[in-house]
């Protein structure tokens, strides 16, 4: 099947890495449904993606809201097309030393980064199983593989996403539904800008990160679009349950 008749859901497709993934999949002929907390951002991405001649529909929702996710997935299946690929990219964090945080912050981080992907898998995968085919690409983080100071709960969620991806890959292989995780390293996105803040400290922190990256630069959103497009493609039909770091060689594990 060519991607021209395929549909993708990209969560958090409004900006950053999700935006680059949306534009790439649209360029490859996928119809795309963007699930994003900020529909106004997502509409900008959608307008650009539609220049590729595909259908792009925006759903303003919180991935942590199970009922909203269920309703949106039903709408996508009916109005955009049968979902071939689900990209769980929406993520959020507020960095702080763990011992200085309280449980309301943990709950929010867990709701978005872990519960959100559970909601989308539960809503989308039964359709894929019914059709005996589909792909899920979960955007995790190198933080899950090596840990990150000030991102303990976020890292735990991303580690959970990797373990969940592997377990689901085993459960759904018999249905030809393939799941893989992609781990970005530090990347120039609005999320990174808000984590870094501004001023001299931000420059120092950024320089320190770049020194730890063998390819000597931060990631750009476009660095992830190719691996996602590949994992969604027929060329990746024998790859499942894998975790792939795209981080300029920062962590060679
Ligand atoms: N930027 C990095 O350095 C980096 C590193 C490792 C992993 N990641 C991961 O990559 C993914 C994308 O990150 P980014 O840097 O592009 O982020 P970003 O903040 O720039 O963009 C995230 C997008 O997700 C949307 N979003 C956030 N919470 C949502 C929710 N609850 N429901 C629906 N949409 C929501 C936002 O509105 C936004 O459009 C995330 O999963 C993040 O954890 C990023």
pLDDT in tens, the chain (253 residues): 445 589 999 999 999 999 999 999 999 999 999 999 999 999 999 999 999 999 999 999 999 999 999 999 999 999 999 999 999 999 999 999 999 999 999 999 999 999 999 999 999 999 999 999 999 999 999 999 999 999 999 999 999 999 999 999 999 999 999 999 999 999 999 999 988 888 998 899 899 999 999 999 999 999 999 999 999 999 999 999 999 999 999 999 8
Rg (C-alpha) for the chain, rounded Å, is 17
Fold of 3-184+221-244: Rossmann fold (3.40.50)
> Ligand 1 — pocket residues by CB below 6 A?
11-12, 14-18, 35-38, 41, 62-64, 89-92, 112, 116, 139, 141, 184, 186-187, 189-192
Out of 30, 59, 154, 224, pick the active-site residue.
Answer: 154
Ligand 1: residue whose CA is nearest its atom 34: 36
Q: In what order do the strands lie in the sheet with 56-60?
A: 56-60, 31-36, 7-11, 83-88, 134-139, 177-184, 243-246
Q: What is the pLDDT of residues 74-101, one digit of tens each?
A: 999 999 999 999 999 999 999 999 999 9
Pick the atom of ligand 1 nearest to 188's CA.
Answer: 1
Residue whose tokens read 């360029």:
27
| CB within 8 Å of 246: residues ≥ 6 apart | 182, 183, 184, 185, 219, 223, 224, 227
| CA 16 to centroid of ligand 1, rounded, Å | 7
pTM over 0.75: yes
- Alpha-carbon distance values, 144 to 6, 53, 86, 183, 186 (Å): 31, 37, 21, 8, 13
| Cα of 1 from ligand 1 centre, angstroms | 30
Q: Which of ligand 1's atoms lies nearest the C-alpha of 63?
A: 32
Centre of ligand 1 from the C-alpha of residue 34, in Å: 13
Tell me, yes or no, if 154 is annotated catalytic: yes
What residue spans define the domains of the chain?
3-184+221-244, 187-218
Q: What's the 174 CA to ligand 1 centre distance in angstroms?
A: 31
Residue 4 contacts by C-beta under 8 Å, 6 or more apart in sequence? 29
Question: pLDDT tens, 194-238?
Answer: 888 889 988 998 999 999 999 999 999 999 999 999 999 999 999
């Amino acid at each position: 099947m060519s991607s021209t008749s395929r549909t993708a859901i990209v969560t958090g497709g409004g900006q950053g890495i999700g935006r680059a993934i949306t534009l790439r999949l649209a360029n490859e002929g996928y119809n795309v449904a963007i699930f994003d907390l900020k529909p106004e951002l997502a509409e900008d991405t959608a307008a650009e993606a539609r220049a590729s001649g595909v259908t792009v529909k925006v759903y303003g929702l919180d991935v942590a809201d199970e009922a909203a996710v269920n309703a949106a997935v039903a709408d996508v299946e009916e109005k955009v097309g049968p979902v071939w690929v689900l990209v769980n990219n929406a993520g959020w964090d507020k960095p702080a030393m763990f011992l200085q945080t309280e449980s309301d912050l943990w709950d929010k981080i867990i709701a978005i980064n872990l519960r959100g992907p559970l909601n989308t898998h539960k809503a989308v995968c039964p359709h894929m199983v019914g059709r005996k085919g589909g792909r899920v690409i979960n955007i995790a983080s190198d933080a899950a593989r090596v840990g990150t100071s000030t991102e303990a709960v976020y890292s735990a969620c991303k580690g959970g996403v990797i373990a969940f991806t592997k377990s689901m890959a085993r459960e759904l292989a018999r249905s030809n539904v393939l799941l893989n995780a992609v781990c970005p390293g530090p990347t120039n996105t609005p999320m990174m800008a808000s984590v870094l803040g501004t001023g001299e400290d931000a420059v120092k922190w950024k320089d320190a990160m770049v020194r730890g990256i063998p390819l000597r630069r931060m990631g750009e959103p476009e660095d992830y679009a190719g691996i996602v497009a590949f994992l969604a493609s027929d060329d990746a039909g024998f790859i499942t349950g894998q975790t792939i770091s795209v981080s300029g060689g920062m962590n060679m594990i």
